[in-house]
Amino acid sequence: MNALTMVGIGGLGCPALMGILSGWPVDRELRIRLIDPDVIQLSNLNRQILFSETDLGSAKTIVAATRARELFDCKHVSFEPIQEALNETNIQRLLADSQCVIDGTDSARTKLLLNDFCVKQRLPLVYGGATGYEGVSLLVRPGGACLRCVFGEFLSEEIAELEGGCRAQGIVGAVVGMVGLQQAESALKLLLQPGDCLEPAQLYRFSLKGARSKTSPVLPTADCPNGCAAVRSDRKRLDLTHLHCPETFLYTKLTLEKLPRNTELEILFNNQLSAKNVCQSIVEEGQLVLEECRVLGDDRYQTTIAKVI
């Protein structure tokens, strides 16, 4: 079963959740874990579109799950509402068994915590941020750039300044709507079409002034404190150029079962069809495809898979 965790069910989380459910196949199972410590307040209603005045004082996670079931066909979607603030002590537990995390928080500290944890665990993270009339989104995935590659290192006093600046400027509702939907699109591609999410990472920027958007590639930086540019030592290789379907999938599955979680596996094939068939089957097994099919020449093709469950 595909497993998605959403941290923050507010201005970003509400449209992101709606985008996920509107694009999810009705016959495919999905588990969505909703994490947010807050209850609904009157000031939320101008941009947190899943809530209404009748929900004031109720937990955001519970109301979001209930409203989602009312608005969408959720026969194959299960919700796990958790009214808890994510922090250093519980992040391991709250993100356990996730295949993808959507960052819908409004705290710079929490965003950096999520980024650093997901990079370390090699867990895909869809970052989103918005202030005033501007918003950004970035898919952080194994082997790609992370937030610290893009925005640099932050000192404690700089993080505190960021927190205060965001609260002072406020956010225009349409901006978080656009960014949240962009986050949903990235998460859907990651879970359903992993071959469309290949490196380099793409930084999406949106400005309500003039309704302008721009997407630009970002690469891991050598000075990233998370070591994003370093070569991973826990990547294994499997040569299946002497086999054909369905033996290629069988050997891939058996090899993955022997590897520890979060290990990357490079697989070599002698034809493109085998590579694509294995990728499709691996996604159905709940694993993550990092690279669907790279042409190496000499009738060889490479696929890269990450064992995430």
Q: Write out pLDDT tens, residues 41-71.
A: 999 999 999 999 999 999 999 999 999 999 9
Query: On the CB side of 48, how many CA atoms lie within 13 Å of its CA?
Result: 26
Whether the predicted pLDDT of 114 surpasses 80:
yes
Sketch out the chain's domains with CATH numbers.
2-218 (3.40.50.720), 235-306 (3.30.110.40)
Query: Is the separation of the CB atoms in 103 and 290 below 8 Å?
Result: no
Helix axes 60-71, 13-23, angle to 10 degrees: 30
pLDDT reported for residue 152: 74
Longest distance between any two alpha carbons in the chain, whole Å: 65
- Its pTM stands at 0.74
| Mean pLDDT score, 179-183 | 95
Summary mean pLDDT of the chain: 86
Whats the size of the chain, residue-wise?
309
Model confidence pLDDT, tens digit, residues 214-266 = 888 887 887 888 888 764 546 788 889 888 888 899 989 898 888 887 778 88
Res. 167 pLDDT band, cuts 50 70 90: low
Strand, helix or coil for residue 86: coil
- Residue 297's φ and ψ, nearest 5 degrees, are 90, 170
**For residue range 273-303, what is the model confidence (pLDDT) as tens digits?**
999 899 888 888 888 887 788 887 777 888 8
Picking from 205, 177, 192, the residue whose alpha carbon sits closest to that of residue 17 is: 177
